[in-house]
Amino acid sequence: MIQLLTTQEVVNFLGLKRDFLYPDILVFKFEELEPAENIDETSSKDFFEIVITEKDPGNLIIRNRLYDNLDDSISFLSPNQPIRYFCNKEGDMDRAICILFKADIFIPERQSFDICNEFPFFKIHSAPLFKLQKEQIDLLYPLFEALLNETLVNDANSMRIIRSYLEIILNKCLRTMKQDVNIHPISRFETIAYQFEELVAFHSPRLKSLKDYAQFLNISAVYLAECVKKTTGRTAKQIIIDYQTIRAKYLLNQKEKTIYNVANEMGFDEVTNFTKFFKKYTGHTPSQFRKIT
């Protein structure tokens, strides 16, 4: 069972020496890091993460994959994924900023699956880095700096300003990611796994089975399953179910929709089948879920 690290445990693990005023958001430059060399793979953080690097700060490890040459890059990570950093002394650690934030920071409060749905660059399994154009970095990086500076201020308006900056950053990133951005060079099987998750996240009703996704990607179902398993550690079926569950929760949170409407949008012919699916993978019936959220 994965153990989620508390905010203070994340601060301690990363070797951050200063105090952080707001437990739902941690913003820091890589020059502040003194990371441990090992991470317990059974532990992870309950934070969304964005890392922007104007200049290469060193090496970044996500899911045990080493990334380097991080000039003009940005990466996104959803909660429950371990991460660690190695910063070379030769790297420009002053020009790389990390934002860690919890879904709880927003008012009205959002759930993690709401954020994944609204900002789909937060993948829950694959996590590539993206290389940006100079003008894209020039637009985004000052916003990250402004947010960092505001998290150092403690007055009555600070949290309101922090939330505003975070909303602007997320929506600017959303616009940027819709433009022509390049994935940092990754292996063939990682590319396929990312493309698969991208399809699942924005799935067409026509794509229901692993065979459907494989045909869309012009590869065999066996090879697709192998690539996904090797990259994420999960089966393709599990990833499809994960996203179905996220989407079901998102739709159920729209209280104006009936459970019948939600089941229909999810592609279930019968409400009872949808209820069985949802109960199996969340532990609650749709009605119970609505009562507790």
Q: In the predicted model, what is the mean pLDDT of residues 145-164?
A: 96
Residue 86 shares a structural domain with residue 207: no
- Look at residues 131, 154, 183 and tell me which one is the last residue of a structural domain: 183
- Residue 243's CATH number: 1.10.10.60
The CA-atom distances, in angstroms, between 282 and each of 29, 46, 176, 251 are 37, 18, 34, 14
* Stated pTM of the model: 0.80
Residue 20 shares a structural domain with residue 145: yes
Q: Which 3 state secondary structure label does DSSP give 83?
A: strand
6 Rama sector, left if φ>0, alpha if ψ -120 to 50, beta otherwise? beta
Residue 30 shares a structural domain with residue 110: yes
Residue 63 shares a structural domain with residue 146: yes
Residue 63 shares a structural domain with residue 204: no
**How far is 228 from 198, CA to CA, in rounded Å?**
12
Range of weakest confidence among 69-78, 107-116, 255-264: 107-116
- Residue 19's CATH number: 2.60.120.280
Strands 3-5 and 43-45: parallel
Range of weakest confidence among 61-65, 67-71, 148-152: 61-65
Residue 169 shares a structural domain with residue 75: yes
Q: Which of 54, 92, 48 is nearest to 73 (CA)?
A: 54
What is the total count of domains within the chain?
2
- Look at residues 129, 149, 183 and tell me which one is the last residue of a structural domain: 183
How much is the pLDDT for 217? Answer: 92
Task: Pick from 54-63, 154-163, 228-237 the range whose average pLDDT is largest.
Answer: 154-163
Task: Mark 1-12 as b/e (b = at least 16 C-beta within 10 Å).
Answer: eeeebebeebbe
- Look at residues 183, 202, 223 and tell me which one is the last residue of a structural domain: 183
- Residue 201: domain span: 188-292
**Segment 98-140, tens digit of pLDDT:** 999 999 999 877 777 788 888 988 988 887 789 999 999 999 9
Residue 168 shares a structural domain with residue 93: yes
Query: What average pLDDT does the structure give for the chain?
Result: 86
**How far is 167 from 171, CA to CA, in rounded Å?**
6
Residue 175 shares a structural domain with residue 280: no
Residue 146 shares a structural domain with residue 203: no
Residue 46 shares a structural domain with residue 141: yes
Residue 200 shares a structural domain with residue 126: no
Q: Which neighbouring-strand residues pair with 73?
A: 53, 131
pLDDT class for 272, splitting at 50, 70, 90? very high
Residue 153 shares a structural domain with residue 197: no
